[in-house]
Amino acid sequence: MNTERKKHLPYFAVLDCLTEQSICFLCALELEGLQKYFDNLLYERVNDVATRASLARSKGFCNRHSAFILKYGASLGTAILYRQQSSLLDELLDNLSSVSTALLKLPQIASWRNHKACPACKNQLDDRKRYSEIFLDALKNSDSDMINAFEKSAPICVPHFLDLLDQIKRNRNLERYLVDIEQKKIRELIADLDEFIRKHDYQYADESFGREQDCCQRAVRIIAGYEGLF
């Protein structure tokens, strides 16, 4: 890899995702970031002191990120992590057996119900912030590579799109530009859905599917964001 590219790795990560991915580029980048995070965690850091401390504080992962762990199938790493979690739960139950349930609001007990500090959520939000800033800065600086890649890319999913708009509320031109491009892409999606539905009519049963063949997955992921990310 040349040094120039290495120096601006996150910039090129954004550009590559815009060019190559058929889903929202921020969804793609966050998925990739979570993949790396769990690879590293489950294969290299299950016994790491800082990792254990942070998971003890957060009481494990939130429901969404727990689903990522199960998808991984790294059973030994998962067993080691959850051996620790199960011991913490065992201690909690020990304590609960000797105190009144009125104490359920105590912070050490409430933290089992509240996963705001899930370390994977933090990792994902850091990625979101970093990549959104790189993308918006490039557009503000009229970076032609970024603009070209963005205009040809898949639509941005609704949750990420609204998040981007939140970040640029004082730049009316940029806001309007993003809305215009998104609208153009959404109209193409609508045309694909119409075409998909039309071809399911028995009168057109002999017509084969074209670019509209995966429009259902695209539509679902644009409206709600990629599954498991929000």
Site membership for Zn ion, residue 26 (CB under 5 A): yes
Interaction residues for Zn ion, span 153-212 (CB under 5 A): 157, 160
60 alpha carbon, distance to own chain's centre: 19
Residue 209 beta carbon to Zn ion: minimum distance, rounded to whole angstroms: 25
C-beta of 41 vs 157, nearer to Zn ion: 157
Residue 204 beta carbon to Zn ion: minimum distance, rounded to whole angstroms: 33
CB 70 within 8 A of CB 134: no
Q: Which amino acid is at 35?
A: Q
Instruction: Give every CB contact of residue 161 below 8 A, 6+ residues apart in sequence.
Output: 155, 178, 182
Site membership for Zn ion, residue 218 (CB under 5 A): no
Site membership for Zn ion, residue 17 (CB under 5 A): no
What is the C-alpha to C-alpha distance for residues 92 and 69, in angstroms, rounded to an integer? 24
**Torsional sign, CA 217, 218, 219, 220:** positive
Site membership for Zn ion, residue 128 (CB under 5 A): no
**Residue of 14, 24, 154, 215 that binds Zn ion (CB under 5 A):** 24
Site membership for Zn ion, residue 65 (CB under 5 A): yes
C-beta of 127 vs 212, nearer to Zn ion: 127
Per-residue x/- track, 77-106, Zn ion (CB under 5 A): ------------------------------
Closest CA to 197 of 182, 222, 216, 178: 216
C-beta of 191 vs 223, nearer to Zn ion: 223
Site membership for Zn ion, residue 62 (CB under 5 A): yes
Instruction: Give every CB contact of residue 126 below 8 A, 6+ residues apart in sequence.
Output: none
Closest CA to 214 of 201, 228, 195, 230: 195
Site membership for Zn ion, residue 31 (CB under 5 A): no
What residue ranges bind Zn ion (CB under 5 A)? 24, 26-27, 62, 65, 118, 120-121, 157, 160, 225
